[in-house]
């Protein structure tokens, strides 16, 4: 089982941390192999941000993502930039408040993409009262929609990755994200 995940948005959304948390959950708490990589340019501040994960139950030879099974878009720019790579029959998770879904409807149909909606930024604002935890809300949604990591591993990885003293806020953000996945399903 080799699964490839790509998460993209803009700088400041915590995209890279989301990748690290998911990788940590898989590798340290779910007993899987995981490689997390990221791309950035020398000038990147507030521009595009992207993290990628390979998760497998076997040794990972080639560590880079080529054709993601799961693509999470947290900005419209990122959605348009990376949608092409998504595997036929793959999963697309979008924050509907930040992207215009109409523009990609033909790709979705042609490639038989399963689309899930996770308004992570609004949920972070309204349910947790902290916009900055939108990335953790999205981890909850990814976990709920795809099962790529277990809930228990995700909680442990979040607690181990966020600044001390912010664990409760972040775990409630994760629960809010899980809730989004239940609502849509």
Partner 1 sequence: MTSEDYFIQGNEACARGAIKANCRFFAGYPITPSTEIAEDMAVFLPREGGTFVQMEDEISTLGAVIGAVWAGMKGMTATSGPGFSLMQEHIGYAVMTETPLVIVNMQRGSPSTGQPTMASQGDMMQARWGSQGDYEIIALSPSSVQECFDFTVEAFNLAEKYRVPVMVMSDENVGHMREKITIPEKVEVKARSMPEEGPDTYLPYRADPDGTSPMPALGDGYKIHITGLTHDERGYPDASNPQAHSKLVKRLCNKIRHHTNEISRIKTENVEDAEIIIISYGAPSRSALKAVRTARDQGLNVGFIKIDVVWPFPEEMIQKAAGNAQRVIVVEMNLGQIFYEVQRVLPEVKVELAPKIGGEMHLPEEILKQINSTKD
According to DSSP, the residues that pair with 71 across neighbouring strands are: 6, 92
150: contact with partner 1 by CB under 8 A: no
28: contact with partner 1 by CB under 8 A: yes
Do residues 18 and 148 lie in contact, with contact meaning Cβ atoms separated by under 8 Å? no
Residue in 33, 32, 35, 118 with CA at minimum distance from that of residue 71: 118
Residue of 11, 17, 33, 130 that binds partner 1 (CB under 8 A): 33
27: contact with partner 1 by CB under 8 A: yes
64: contact with partner 1 by CB under 8 A: yes
56: contact with partner 1 by CB under 8 A: no
58: contact with partner 1 by CB under 8 A: no
SS3 38: strand
Residue of 3, 13, 14, 36 that binds partner 1 (CB under 8 A): 36
**Residue nearer to partner 1 on the CB measure, 63 or 89:** 63
**How far, in Å, are 4, 9, 100 from residue 64 at the CA level?**
9, 19, 28
According to DSSP, the residues that pair with 185 across neighbouring strands are: none
Binding site for partner 1 (CB under 8 A): 20, 23-24, 27-28, 33-38, 40-42, 60-64, 66
């Amino acid at each position: 089982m080799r699964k490839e995940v790509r998460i993209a948005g803009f700088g400041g959304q915590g995209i890279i941390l989301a990748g690290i948390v998911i990788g940590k959950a898989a590798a340290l708490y779910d007993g899987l192999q995981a490689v997390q990589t990221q791309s950035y340019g020398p000038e990147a501040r507030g521009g595009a941000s992207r993290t990628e994960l390979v998760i497998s139950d076997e040794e990972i030879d080639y560590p880079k993502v080529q054709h993601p099974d799961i693509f999470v878009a947290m900005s419209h720019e990122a959605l348009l930039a990376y949608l092409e790579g998504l595997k036929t029959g793959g999963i697309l998770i979008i924050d509907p408040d930040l992207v215009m879904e109409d523009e990609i409807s033909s790709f979705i149909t042609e490639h038989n993409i399963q689309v899930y909606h996770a308004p992570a930024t609004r949920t972070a604002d309204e349910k947790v009262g902290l916009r900055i935890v939108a990335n953790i809300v999205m981890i909850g949604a990814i976990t709920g929609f795809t099962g790529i990591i277990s809930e228990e591993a995700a909680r442990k990885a979040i607690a181990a990755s966020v600044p001390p003293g912010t664990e409760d806020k972040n775990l409630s953000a994760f629960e809010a994200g899980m809730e989004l996945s239940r609502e849509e399903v």
